[in-house]
Amino acid sequence: MTRTIQQLFDLTGKTALVTGGSRGLGLQMAHALGEAGAKVVLSSRKAEDLEHATAELKAAGIDASWIAADCAKDSEITRLAEETLKRLGHIDILVNNAGAAWGAPAEDHPVDAWDKVMNLNVRGYFLLSQVVAKRSMIPRRSGRIINVASIAGLGGNPEGMTTIAYNTSKGAVVNFTRTLGAEWGKYNITVNAICPGFFPSKMTMGTLKAMGEEKLASHAPLKRLGDDEDLKGLCLLYASDAGKHITGQWLAVDGGVSVVTGG
């Protein structure tokens, strides 16, 4: 029997782990998954931030809890996966969102800062995807992995930005998504990426201040920055059966910036 659109987008009975979920884009996506019926576990490094975020989700009627972990450390990644599985039983949806950025001219960019960004933004995504797949998704022959990349990974730096490590890492996430989607399709695991443009957040605060929010918004065909709702629809599409035939893909959510810049 063909399901209705409401049934296809329904996540009742599903479970989700969202890294970098205590604020910003991660919390927005956690809202989307929870509002569609999923049980959600949030993770980030700071317990206090996670407590506030979880309280916000619970106030919205979402079954939410949290686990503090540093996704730049192998042992913490393993512990996060194990504790989530112990709590939820299995993981249907993994949102890889934890990330770091660093601003410096390429000729002066510190090597340790390069390593920090690449370690969290790329290696962390790989290791958490690997452990979650091996311990839950592959045995169950089912899973949805959503990687948060960026339009910064689709092209070079706009004038005024000096974020070579971040841009490189997000370009790697796009190809990581393609490759993993191709390899894990045989397990009925879909792997897709979201490439946000500029959204006001703690990570982008410095860039928005330096380049000017109005100026950045003016570069977008839609003449605006992203808001607290703009990732919800795509996240839910990737996570639900409405997107079950989509894998290895990326989509920019940027008000059209990548259209005019050639990303």
What does the domain layout of the chain look like in residue ranges?
A: 5-255
Q: What percent of the chain has pLDDT over 90?
A: 85
Average pLDDT over residues 12-35: 98
Report the C-alpha gap between 186 and 137 in whole angstroms.
12
* Helical spans, DSSP H, in the chain: 5-9, 24-35, 47-59, 74-88, 111-118, 124-132, 138-140, 164-184, 205-211, 213-218, 232-239, 257-261
β partners of residue 190:
144
- Catalytic residue chosen out of the listed positions 125, 166, 187, 238: 166
Nearest to 44 by CA among 176, 174, 201: 201
One-letter amino acid of 35: E
pLDDT above 90 (res 157): no
Give pLDDT, residue 155.
83
One-letter amino acid of 104: A
Give pLDDT, residue 215.
80
Look up tokens 């029997």; give the residue. Answer: 1
pLDDT above 90 (res 73): yes
If you count them, how many residues does the chain have? 263
Assign residue 207 a region: left if phi > 0, alpha if psi is -120 to 50, beta otherwise?
alpha
* Distance (Å) of CA 256 to CA 141, 216, 233, 262: 36, 12, 16, 10
Q: Is 166 a catalytic residue?
A: yes
Average pLDDT over residues 155-168: 81
pLDDT above 80 (res 133): yes
β partners of residue 252:
195
pLDDT above 90 (res 181): yes
Give pLDDT, residue 40.
98
Report the C-alpha gap between 167 and 165 in whole angstroms.
6
Q: Tell me: the pLDDT tens digits for 24-39?
A: 999 999 999 999 999 9
Give pLDDT, residue 208.
64
Look up tokens 């782990």; give the residue. Answer: 17
Q: Indicate the class that CATH gives domain 5-255.
A: alpha beta
pTM over 0.75? The answer is yes
Give pLDDT, residue 205.
61
Give pLDDT, residue 22.
97
Q: Tell me: the pLDDT tens digits for 198-245?
A: 898 666 666 666 566 788 888 899 999 999 999 999 999 999 999 999
Assign residue 186 a region: left if phi > 0, alpha if psi is -120 to 50, beta otherwise?
alpha
